[in-house]
Amino acid sequence: MSSNNSFPLPPSTMVAIKQIKQKEIKVKVGFSKASRTVPPPPTTSIITVKPPTSPEAQNNNSSNNDLSKKLSERRVISGEKYDHPFFINDFKVGSGEKKLRIITISDTHCNHKELEIPEGDLLICAGDFTKTGSQYEMEQFNNWLGTLKHKHKIIICGNHEHQASTWDIKKSQEILSNATYLQETGVCIDGINIYGLPYVPNMSDQPGESYMESVDNEYFYKSEELLEVIYSKIPENTNILISHTPIRGILDGHARGSTALKERIKHLKELKLLVCGHVHASHGYKQDELNVTHINACNDREQCIYFDYYY
């Protein structure tokens, strides 16, 4: 018998083969359809679909004029970054004829050597310059500050400098000897009253931050009720306020700023500038309806913001 000969299959086997082939065809068609049409993600999905951007919009986003006006909300959508130090020139910061060039940094988290620091009169650091808050990291940052030629340097701590929250202010100043350290204290430079605080609101009641409950009201974390008491002590003649947290509603991401600070600055009639950090995604600047300029100076893969302060 030749090996090419074949035996007829039973009817039941033929039916089974036919069903398998039909299923294979359905599966192939299903994959083909899926490759052409992708259903939108459910409303609870973290996936978001961005609408296409027109060439005109792309050109506008890249222009210097648009760059000078971008705020945190647009920056989060567009994903734009400051690759070089950025100078504010689309509105006047402060008031008066004299000017002081200010450079702002914050949330460097031990990456300070990656920054390009422009020349200027005053360098302000709004906290979180360490990763772990260790004394060693603070000393390393202080050594770097010592290499900068600015006449004035002012620094506050942030929530990452938890170790410093257990020290008295004198020890922090000794470690940060190449700058003026502020913690519910102020300094006057050429008639400009500057006040600094390191606090942030408790984070456990913010979305995705429930694990932070163990540090509520510890270190530099405070409830809004406690912050209201602390902020009430900010002198009313303050011109520049340095706070690690932003106020609620301005450069604070998804409402992560302090409501107590927002209320307090309404009563600071001489306030012209608020420098903050803490919310990395909201790096940028904005001038509010009271003509107070808000700077979120976070340097999470961002370069510094600097400007002339008029007084």
- What single letter denotes the amino acid at residue 248? R
Q: What is the pLDDT of residues 111-141, one digit of tens each?
A: 999 999 999 999 999 999 999 999 999 999 9
Is the pLDDT higher at 34 or at 217?
A: 217
| Least confident window among 104-113, 156-165, 210-219 | 210-219
Q: What is the pTM of this model?
A: 0.75
Q: In whole numbers, what is the pLDDT of the chain averaged over residues?
A: 81
Q: Is residue 77 helix, strand or coil?
A: helix
Helical spans, DSSP H, in the chain: 11-36, 55-62, 64-69, 72-78, 135-145, 169-175, 224-231, 259-265
Residue pointed to by tokens 């792309």:
58
Spatial neighbors of 208 by CB under 8 A, at least 6 apart, are none
Pairing state between β 273-276 and 240-243? parallel
Q: What is the pLDDT of residues 259-305, one digit of tens each?
A: 999 999 999 999 999 999 999 999 999 999 999 999 999 998 889 99
